[in-house]
């Protein structure tokens, strides 16, 4: 006979799974990080949320968590997996390439942040030990949230993304010695601090040596044998064994479990199994990190916030301001541009997820007082919650600084009142420069415009007809001679910028050939609906070039290969140009009709709009 099962035993598991399955998708639709969904549900269903009402409303006991300790061990696994993945992502080559920013800029930022916050805590009557630990914890920033925010905006490769990532990388590494420091400070025994440090250091060195030696000589053969079986289940079991095994070794030596996982990740990063391990562990990391941030949400005591609103709000603002004032000059010292340094300072000013790990360990070992630890956790939680808002404010302020900065002398040259260029290029990056060079080879006069002063200045110094300005403005396009241009080429990388320029051009000239760079097929279809003559999707054109090279290499005659590629391009162009506006004619067809209608009269040219192309030279073939 089966034993009776108490459903309440699995209540916490069901709450987390329910949050992941029901709440997180809603945050995805709102384009908000799912981490905030876990934090919000943790605060709502935690012991300081609806669980307080369980006595008066009994059924709430089934959907709330009354004791935070029930989540601690599972939540710690989320950090263990996160540090394992961080170790797996690190490589000596990557660290060597970014060493100046990672170890230079990152170290200075963390060191100064710890010093400034620690001094403030000492001024409020806290001991140097508490000031050191809490200051170091709050000086760290959120790797999970900052990277996710930048990734969603596709800006990890920008100056802001690189500067932020370099700093976060150092902070992730700094967590390891910080955990060791807290473990040492919390160690008990006689003989003074020197004896405690010596004992703890010896145990830590022994544990690290065991992990490194075992990892170097055992892990690769073990994974080779497991991979030879071809069983994904066995490979997953081997990954979990390594993570938990190394974590327990460091935990048994008095250090944190996260340290062991980090070391295991570093060792496996040098093996040929790194990528497959990442794929295998990713689902576990995501869900367990959700559990961790659920626990972070539970640490937010709403009652305490309401009891001390001014003190907590002041502490949150002070944390953001102090870290911002430290981060910005440090990044400028390492030659990060003003806009990128400002936005990075805003993104890195809130606390990070590791503050909860280290502060929790420090409180359990009595390294810091429970009152200070609870207050710091509340401040860290609130700063994390408002991170997207702070980041958005920093980005907008950075854009204002970018727009208001002094332009190089070369970029201040204005277009002539009566330019004679037949082609107008909007955007003078790599794509725009290539288009310009081909026009020069064929002796077609052009004007290029860009909003990047450095690109404009470099072009002017090279003798190119490049001008600084916003091509989405009608008055600026008029000064660039749009009324007499035969074609406009929009080469900018930003979707919104391409759409804005295309809209302005088409509103001013219905007859001009308008060629635009598209990000993908969907973007190309949208641009055709906006009246673009020719939209060129990046990946699509690259695939056609690859196909052409492959056909020729496979022995297909050159003429047949080129004809096949052109035929496929026409097929996709016809698909892209399908416009649901009751107008069956494509953009190219309409332009060709206008070309056949002949040159415009002088009166029509003076008016700026007409259904025919300008008479300056033969018409361009949009195909």
Where b means 16+ CB within 10 Å and e means fewer, 470-483 reads bbbeeebbebbbbb
Q: Reply yes or no on whether the pLDDT at 27 is more than 70.
A: yes
Which structural domains are found in the chain, ordered by start? 7-67 (no CATH), 68-401 (1.20.1530.20), 409-607 (3.40.50.720)
Q: Which residue has the higher pLDDT, 336 or 288?
A: 336
- What CA–CA distances, in Å, run from 596 to 577, 600, 618, 619? 21, 11, 11, 9
pLDDT tops 80 at residue 523: yes
Paired tokens of 31: 């384009």
Residues in contact with 348: Cβ distance below 8 Å, sequence separation at least 6, in sequence order = 109, 141, 146, 164, 167, 168, 323, 327
The answer to whether residue 494 scores a pLDDT higher than 90 is no
* Residue 101: partners with Cβ closer than 8 Å, 6 or more residues away: 162, 163, 166, 167, 334
Q: What share of the chain is helix, strand, coil (3-state, %, to 5)?
A: 70, 5, 25
Residue 600 clears pLDDT 50, i.e. is over it: no
The alpha-helical segments, DSSP class H, found in 254-365 are 257-268, 274-298, 302-307, 309-333, 338-348, 354-364
pLDDT of residue 95: 62
Beta strand 423-426 pairing with 446-450: parallel
Q: Is the pLDDT of residue 422 over 80?
A: yes
In this prediction, residue 591 has a pLDDT band, given cuts at 50, 70 and 90, of very low
Q: Can you say how many angstroms the Cα of residue 562 is from the centroid of all Cα atoms in its chain? A: 40
Cβ contacts of residue 477 below 8 Å, gap of 6+? 424, 471, 504, 505, 508
Using alpha carbons, select from 479, 370, 371 the residue that is nearest to residue 421.
479
Judge whether 355 and 137 are in contact, CB under 8 Å: yes
For the chain, helix (H) and strand (E) counts, in that order, are: 30, 6
Q: How many CB atoms lie within 10 A of CB 278?
A: 18
> Can you tell me the mean pLDDT for 127-152?
85
pLDDT tens for 248-262 read 887 777 666 777 787
pLDDT bin (cut points 50, 70, 90) of residue 419 is low
Residue 572 is encoded by which pair of tokens? Answer: 């996709």
Model pLDDT for residues 68-125, shown as the tens digit of each residue: 666 666 667 777 777 787 777 765 566 667 778 888 898 999 999 999 999 999 999 8
pLDDT of 20: 74
Which pLDDT does position 4 carry in this prediction?
60
What pLDDT is recorded for position 424?
A: 92
3-state SS assignment for residue 242: helix
Q: Is the pLDDT of residue 545 over 90?
A: no
User: Which helix or strand (DSSP H or E) is residue 489 part of?
Assistant: strand 487-490
Angle between helices 34-45 and 274-298 (to 10 degrees): 40
Note the pLDDT of residue 282. 76
How far apart (Å, rounded) are the C-alpha atoms in residues 541 and 568?
Answer: 11
Does the global pTM surpass 0.85?
A: no
Average pLDDT of every residue of the chain: 77
The two tokens of residue 244 are 């938990």
Mean pLDDT of 545-572: 77
Residue 67 confidence (pLDDT) above 50:
yes
């Amino acid at each position: 006979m089966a034993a009776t099962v108490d459903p309440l035993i699995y209540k916490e598991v069901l709450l987390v799974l329910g949050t992941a399955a029901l709440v997180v998708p809603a945050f995805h639709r709102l384009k908000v990080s799912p981490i905030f969904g876990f934090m919000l549900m943790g605060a709502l269903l935690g012991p300081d949320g609806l669980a307080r009402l369980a006595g008066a409303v009994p059924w709430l006991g089934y959907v709330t968590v009354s004791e935070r300790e029930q989540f601690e061990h599972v939540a710690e696994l989320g950090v263990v997996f996160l540090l394992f993945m961080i170790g797996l992502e690190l490589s000596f080559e990557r660290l060597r390439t970014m060493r100046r920013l990672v170890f230079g800029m990152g170290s200075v930022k963390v060191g100064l942040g710890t010093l400034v916050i620690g001094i403030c805590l000492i001024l409020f009557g806290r001991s140097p030990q508490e000031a050191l630990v809490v200051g170091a914890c709050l000086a760290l920033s959120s790797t999970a949230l900052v990277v996710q925010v930048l990734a969603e905006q596709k800006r990890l490769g920008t100056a802001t993304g690189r500067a932020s990532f370099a700093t976060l990388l150092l902070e992730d590494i700094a967590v390891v010695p910080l955990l060791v420091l807290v473990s040492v400070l919390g160690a008990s025994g006689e003989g003074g601090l020197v004896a405690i440090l010596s004992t703890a250091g010896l145990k830590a060195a022994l544990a690290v040596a065991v992990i490194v030696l075992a990892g170097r000589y055992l892990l690769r053969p073990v994974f080779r044998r497991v991979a030879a079986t071809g069983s994904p289940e066995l490979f997953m079991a081997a990954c979990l064994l390594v993570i938990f095994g190394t974590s327990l070794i460091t935990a048994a030596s008095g250090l944190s479990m996260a340290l062991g996982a980090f070391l295991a990740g570093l060792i496996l990063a040098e093996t040929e199994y790194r990528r497959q391990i990442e794929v295998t562990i990713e689902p576990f990391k995501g869900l367990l990190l959700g559990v961790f941030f659920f626990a972070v949400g539970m640490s937010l005591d709403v009652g305490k916030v309401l009891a001390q609103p001014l003190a907590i709000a002041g502490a949150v603002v002070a944390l953001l301001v102090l870290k911002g004032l430290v981060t910005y000059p440090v990044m400028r010292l390492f030659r990060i541009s003003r806009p990128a340094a400002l936005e990075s300072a805003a993104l890195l000013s809130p606390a990070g997820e590791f503050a909860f790990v280290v502060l929790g360990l420090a409180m359990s070992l009595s390294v810091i007082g429970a009152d200070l630890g609870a207050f710091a956790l509340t401040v860290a939680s609130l700063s994390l919650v408002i991170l997207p808002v702070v980041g958005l404010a920093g980005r907008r302020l950075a854009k204002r600084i970018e727009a208001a900065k002094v332009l190089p002398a070369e970029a201040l040259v204005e277009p002539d009142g009566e330019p004679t260029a037949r082609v107008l290029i909007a955007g003078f990056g790599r794509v725009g420069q290539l288009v310009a060079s081909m026009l020069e080879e064929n002796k077609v006069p052009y004007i290029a415009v860009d909003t990047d002063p450095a690109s404009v200045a470099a072009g002017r110094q090279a003798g190119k007809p490049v001008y600084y300005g916003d091509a989405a403005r009608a008055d600026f396009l008029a000064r660039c001679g749009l009324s007499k241009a035969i074609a406009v080429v929009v080469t900018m990388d930003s979707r919104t910028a391409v759409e804005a320029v295309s809209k302005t051009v088409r509103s001013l000239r219905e007859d001009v050939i308008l060629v635009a760079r598209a990000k993908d097929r969907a973007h190309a279809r949208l641009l055709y609906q906006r009246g673009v003559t020719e939209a060129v999707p990046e990946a699509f054109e690259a695939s056609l070039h690859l196909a052409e090279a492959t056909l020729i290499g496979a022995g297909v005659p050159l003429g047949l290969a080129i004809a096949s590629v052109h035929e496929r391009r026409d097929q996709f162009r016809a698909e892209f140009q399908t416009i649901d506006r009751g107008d069956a004619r494509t953009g190219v067809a309409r332009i060709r009709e206008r070309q056949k209608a002949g040159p415009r009269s002088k009166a029509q040219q003076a008016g700026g709009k007409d259904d025919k192309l300008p008479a300056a030279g033969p018409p361009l073939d949009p195909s």
